Amino acid sequence: MGIPAGGRYLDAEMQFVGGDVVWYQNVIELIDMRSFSNVWYWIVVAVMWSSLSHFIMGVPFDMVTRAQRHGGQAMADLDDIVRVNVNRRLHVVKVSGLWLVGFVTAGLTMLGLLGFLYGIRFGQALFLLMAPASLIGLMGANLAARIAREDLSGEALCRCLARHRFKVQLIGMASIFVTAMWGMWQNMNVSALSG
């Protein structure tokens, strides 16, 4: 039995480790689908919640704090960018709101069933990401409707956006806590079964 090109046999079981196989194994280990024990999953969790709490109604929160401190042109810029984002969100809700609700609900149901009924950890991980993010999206649509209905601007708009950001941060902390606890529980179960 000859040694195939680009590889070698290892140990008594004659396992082949070739250039392509090693590369493939390294890639699979890097993007491991075990989710909760993968560093990339936790990076995605951190980036997602950081982005959701920084961009309120599509507006970077530093614009809100600058408008509160300086007023004038900064406040006018904030009013303009919020008006544009409110109109955009309300248009999306009006045109395709029911379709979005249907697709998101179907997706969350599928992930929930795959993850928690059939025990697929990748489904659990995605559900724990997408369910709270969907709640934030619904809150954003409600906030857009409120801003348009009450025609908020200036200091009232800043207070409204700050309250919304605080709620997003609370949901984010609760979500990260639940995800971390569930992930540790799943990792301990895997360790106990393999040990």
* Exposure letters 150-159 (e unless 16+ CB within 10 A, then b): eebbeeebbe
What was the pLDDT predicted at 106?
Answer: 96
pLDDT at 185: 84
Q: What is the pTM of this model?
A: 0.75
Specify whether the CB–CB gap between 34 and 119 falls below 8 A: no
Q: How high is the pLDDT of residue 14? A: 45
Number of other residues whose CB lies within 10 A of the CB of residue 26: 9
Give SS3 for 117.
Answer: helix
CB 14 within 8 A of CB 98: no
Report the candidate in 157, 127, 138, 73 with the shortest Cα–Cα distance to residue 100.
138
DSSP secondary-structure letter at 118?
A: S
Written as tens digits, the pLDDT of the chain (195 aa) is 454 555 554 444 445 455 555 666 665 555 555 677 778 888 999 999 999 999 988 899 999 999 999 888 999 999 999 999 999 999 999 999 899 999 999 999 999 999 899 988 888 999 999 999 999 999 999 999 999 999 888 899 999 999 999 999 999 999 999 998 888 887 777 666 665
pLDDT score for 24: 61
Q: Token digits for 59?
A: 């507006």
Q: Which residues make beta-bridge pairs with 178?
A: none
